[in-house]
Amino acid sequence: MSENNNDIKKPELTDDELIERSFQELLDSYLATKHRKKVDIITKAFNFANRAHKGVKRRSGEPYIMHPLEVAKIVCTEIGLGSTSICSALLHDVVEDTDYTTEDIENLFGPKIAQIVDGLTKISGGIFGDKASAQAENFKKLLLTMSDDIRVILIKIADRLHNMRTLGSLLPNKQYKIAGETLYIYAPLANRLGLNKIKTELENLSFKYEHPEEYQQIEEKLKATQAAREETFKSFTAPIYQELDKMKIKYRIQARVKSTYSIWNKIQTKRVPFEEIYDILAVRIIFEPENPEEELNDCFSIYVALSKIYRAHPDRLRDWMSHPKANGYQALHVTLMGSDGQWIEVQIRSERMNDVAEQGFAAHWKYKEGGGGEDEGELDRWLKTIKEILDDPQPDAIDFLDTIKLNLFASEIFVFTPKGELRTMPQNSTALDFAFSLHTDIGSHCIGAKVNHKLVPLSYKLQSGDQIEILTSKSQRVQLSWEVFATTARARAKISSILRKEQKLVQKKGEKTLNKFLKKEEIHPEGAPLEKLWKVHRMKSNEEFLAAIGNQKVVLGENDKNLLKDKQSSNWKKLLKFSFGGNKEEEEEEAVKPEEQEEKINPKKIYKLTDDSIQKKYIFAECCNPIPGDDVLGYVGDDQRITIHKRQCPIAVRLKSSYGNRIIATKWDTHKKLNFLVYIHIRGIDSIGILAEVIQVISQQLNVNIRKVNLETNDGIFEGRLQLYVHDVSDVKKICDKLRKVHNVKSVTRED
């Protein structure tokens, strides 16, 4: 808290005054909603939580109760839930952080609030081992509790949103961990539950903490282009206002500006500069239908009115009304050509559709008679899929997380069964995914499919509108290769489950064969050095060795008998040294060299990447090829070696979410001494001497060393890849800027 300027202007509030004011804001927000006014129970929950957290402070220095109060406000105003959820939000940390129990909560506030608080408490627990991912374990618990009451996950998302809003008070390595898992888990979950506004804020906040400079650059460019956007919006909507006024409907028009994270994501994936992103502005028309039953017709009437003014893009009409998205989203999207030659997307939706778009499944309850009740349809189907996956959990929590993640952010396509039944599938689904979506038996015995009456392989990618018939055979078995082209969580989970069961059967068969062999040779299994035996056969584990015996890839014979009966350890050492170049004891001694154990890694420290330490201490990840100037972090491996990744690298995103306790903060402190290899992608119009000009700019004007140049031309367009040695990101920027000025060069971007 400030001790100078603010004190002069007005006295600071005491903690109690601050808490009381925040609680009053919560009550005012609640009273402004359409929910039944159960102020008494909310006041009771607040007083109970306030007493329970008395005297405890957050890292930021504010009273701890401010966090549950802010979470309750998000639950009330931004998600639109009622008193039960508000009370649960106020009480969500009581059982975990104080001596009160779930039974105490039930006695005071009833079974429903106790059940939700219990669900939230279970999520906060977890396995915090070095190998196991606490976050993945928590996520598994979170999904289990979802099936009891969806409000658990909604409150958890609100909790994460407030933590992200106050992330500035944490250490950098904690910021990277929390921001990473937010992007990896919570933003997709918020999206899947239709909480678009919250999803956008979670993404933006994660981006802000992980890439502060790039975030600032995009914010500044958005401010610089704001006046031009406002002018475009004004001129584009002027004739729309006139046309809609004639229709005598109650409506409002909003400008929707693409979020900073979405812009940055597009810059990364499409490899285009900010100036070449043309869909930053979209227009939203929100209307109030006179008759709720006519809202679909009203949407199309508005669309007809718009098409009288502007030309619509023939391939960009999206009807999310007749077939809502899996998260409940409904709207009619149309892309129109403005008078300045720019395509602008217009989203047409009713007030009800807008509520659903902003508040997701929580908004459905608002429109149900009597309020409350569970939403049906897609959400139920999604929860059912999750339940099936949870019934057969993966051995590795991270694999489980990746399996679920496949379906969280997927866009939908609509396909049909042979009888014409409509089914929603994630984008990029294959015929195999569709087979497993019908039934596990159909999936595990499918041999192919007919799409629109034509035979296709199981790897065929489905398109919207396809009609699919699955062909099966009783003799067909699940193949290992299926894991490659199965894309949905359900199919991937079922395939790996079946393969694991088959593997266990083969292992049992191998175990029987091994025991039979030991018995025949009169060798006691307890005393037999079996570990050394499977190592000699170059197997990674006992399970792999048993499976190999079961599959008859390994046949036990005379050599194995001699090895097992030979009890002289020196012979074992010789044998293992011959097979592997050293024994375990020697390997361990080799691994712990004094110079490699100079410094114990401190996760709270920010490690400087100096010219000297880069060459000695760190490994640079080949998946993203970081160079000085990139936003980076360190990952501490099992061997205590630190690997440097770009913060947005997909592998790093997974590590932040899965092994957050191993992430360390790093920053560059280099002085243009070392060279780093970068890849530059260049594209343009082919012309005589273009290659010579490109090389002249790089080697003579910029004095940059070239490792390799590969240029190809096709139909008057040239495209190529340059491998160059640079010192840092500023060198890359200089090269790209200079190459863009070369005549006929149209795009220059750095590749990972």
Looking at the annotation, which residues are catalytic? 96-97
Q: Where are the alpha helices (DSSP H) in 11-65?
A: 15-31, 39-52
CB 667 within 8 A of CB 606: yes
DSSP reduced 3-state for 334: strand
Record the tokens describing residue 505, joined without a space. 């059967």
Q: At what angle do helices 66-73 and 15-31 cross, to 10 degrees?
A: 20
DSSP reduced 3-state for 423: strand
Tell which residue, 734, 752, 735, has the closest CA to residue 632.
Answer: 752
CB 510 within 8 A of CB 550: yes
Q: At what angle do helices 542-550 and 489-520 cross, to 10 degrees?
A: 80
Instruction: Give the strand pairing for 281-288 and 343-350.
Output: parallel
What is the C-alpha to C-alpha distance for residues 208 and 179, in angstroms, rounded to an integer? 9
CB 629 within 8 A of CB 635: no
What is the C-alpha to C-alpha distance for residues 738 and 724, in angstroms, rounded to an integer? 14
- Other beta carbons within 10 angstroms of residue 136's beta carbon come to 25
From residue 485, give the alpha-carbon distance in Å to each of 433, 459, 467: 9, 6, 20
What is the C-alpha to C-alpha distance for residues 427 and 407, in angstroms, rounded to an integer? 9
DSSP reduced 3-state for 551: coil
What is the C-alpha to C-alpha distance for residues 327 and 191, in angstroms, rounded to an integer? 7
What is the C-alpha to C-alpha distance for residues 397 and 401, in angstroms, rounded to an integer? 6
CB 752 within 8 A of CB 627: no
**First vs last Cα of the chain: how many Å apart?**
43
Tell which residue, 686, 720, 715, 683, has the closest CA to residue 276.
Answer: 683
Q: Which helix (H) or strand (E) holds 290?
A: none
Record the tokens describing residue 181, joined without a space. 């898992």
Record the tokens describing residue 712, joined without a space. 């190809």
Tell which residue, 33, 34, 30, 10, has the closest CA to residue 22.
Answer: 30
As a whole number of Å, the CA-based R_g of the chain is: 31
Which is it for the CA torsion 538, 541, 546, 548, positive or negative? Answer: negative
Q: For residue 284, what are the β-bridge partners? A: 254, 347
Record the tokens describing residue 51, joined without a space. 């007493």
Q: φ and ψ at 686, to 5 degrees?
A: -70, 135
What is the C-alpha to C-alpha distance for residues 630 and 626, in angstroms, rounded to an integer? 6
DSSP reduced 3-state for 17: helix
What is the C-alpha to C-alpha distance for residues 383 and 542, in angstroms, rounded to an integer? 37
What is the C-alpha to C-alpha distance for residues 369 and 372, in angstroms, rounded to an integer? 8
Tell which residue, 247, 42, 63, 76, has the closest CA to residue 161.
Answer: 76
Residues 6+ apart with CB under 8 A from 516: none
Q: For residue 669, what are the β-bridge partners? A: 610
Q: What is the DSSP letter of 184?
A: I
Angle value at C-alpha 327, between 159 and 260, nearest 5 degrees: 60
Q: What is the DSSP letter of 596?
A: G
What is the C-alpha to C-alpha distance for residues 571 and 158, in angstroms, rounded to an integer? 63
Q: For residue 472, what are the β-bridge partners? A: 446
What is the C-alpha to C-alpha distance for residues 354 and 348, in angstroms, rounded to an integer? 9
